[in-house]
Amino acid sequence: MELEKMKQYLSDNPNPHLLKDVIGFTFAYSEEEFMENYDTNLKQLISMITDFQSWIKEQSVSTKFISVLGM
């Protein structure tokens, strides 16, 4: 559910300067690099979330627990 909320938020064309609080860029340069190609990176992030949701749904058919490390 949280991923869907995040995806919806990102799809609603958020203010780029407020993303730091939502995404939580780990490194200082990560935010700068994201902003350099904001539109492309935003679309790719939404796509990644969608792909991840699909993967989780597929895995949940045969698996009770899913552990995701290193995200």
Full-model pTM: 0.84
Secondary structure of residue 68 in the 3-state scheme: coil
- Which tokens belong to 15? 């203010």
pLDDT band at 71 (very low <50, low <70, confident <90, very high): low
Q: What is the pLDDT of residue 24?
A: 86
Mean pLDDT along residues 2-9: 94
> How many C-beta atoms lie closer than 10 Å to residue 65's C-beta?
6
Domain boundaries, the chain: 2-62
- Per-residue pLDDT at 39 exceeds 80: yes
